[in-house]
Amino acid sequence: FENSDVDQSAMPSVILMTTPRGKDYHLTLADGTRVWMNADSQLEFPEQFNGARRTVRLHGEAYFEVAKDRRHPFVVETDYLTTTVLGTSFNVRAYSQNDAVVALVEGSVSVKSGRENMLLKPGQLVQVANGKLKTENVNTYGYTQRKDGYFYFTDDTMRGIMAELGRWYNKTVVFEEASDMDIRLHFVADRTQSLPQIINSLCEMDGVDIELGSDEIVVK
């Protein structure tokens, strides 16, 4: 139905920002909130925040430093999680239902999925596992390092590491042995390094054998 009382000219313009594979992007929203978008991500936000809530929608991954405004909560919506804050620093990753995570660096956030609602403390992470929210304590240093231009993996699975490298260098990842997906590594590197440099560094670790093809990364 039509509502003649709605002033279309008063509705804020919506901006859709997309980062391709291999590129990240830093932007500042109208309220002063700073956002660092990871590769292969999409952020939808209004040109101006006019309502009671400052709402943005994310697909992919982004780190947020939210400008404080107690009267207007900041909300990050994804297909799998909704995060509500007043002013804080946190990371949201939502590439898929199996890769939907919120990590809190400072402040407090409320995370909702379905009928579940959970309040996080700094140093906590929440993820969707089997349709339910699951929390754990984590070292959030890696999330701040990623926004500053580094790959930072600490006790991460090979599956997660390769997914991140595939997005950044625009390569398909192939595992010849499924068991290799669960190998855990600590690995740090500058994102400005070439993929061959990254692969060479990984191959120096015990039990890691990776081959680089023209379009794919093969974990052997």
DSSP count for the chain of H helices, then E strands: 3, 18
Nearest to 76 by CA among 91, 55, 52: 55
Helices (DSSP H) in 123-171: which residue ranges?
141-147, 158-169
Residues 6+ apart with CB under 8 A from 8: none
What is the residue whose two structure tokens read 């909130």? 33
The dihedral through the CA atoms of 153, 159, 162, 167 has a sign that is negative
The residues facing 119 across adjacent strands are 110
Q: What is the mean pLDDT of residues 21-32?
A: 96
Q: What is the pLDDT of residues 29-65, one digit of tens each?
A: 999 999 999 999 999 999 999 999 999 999 999 999 9
pLDDT at residue number 135? 94
Predicted pLDDT at 10: 52
Dist CA 122 CA 136 (whole Å): 11
Structure tokens at 71: 């009267």
Overall average pLDDT of the 195-213 stretch: 92
Element (H, E) at 179: none
pLDDT at 98: 81
3-state SS class at 181: helix
Report all structural domains of the chain as residue ranges with CATH numbers, in order of start: 8-139 (2.60.120.1440), 149-219 (3.55.50.30)
Q: For position 206, what pLDDT does the model report?
A: 81
Q: Which residues pair with 90 in a beta bridge?
A: 64, 104
More confident residue, 56 or 155: 56
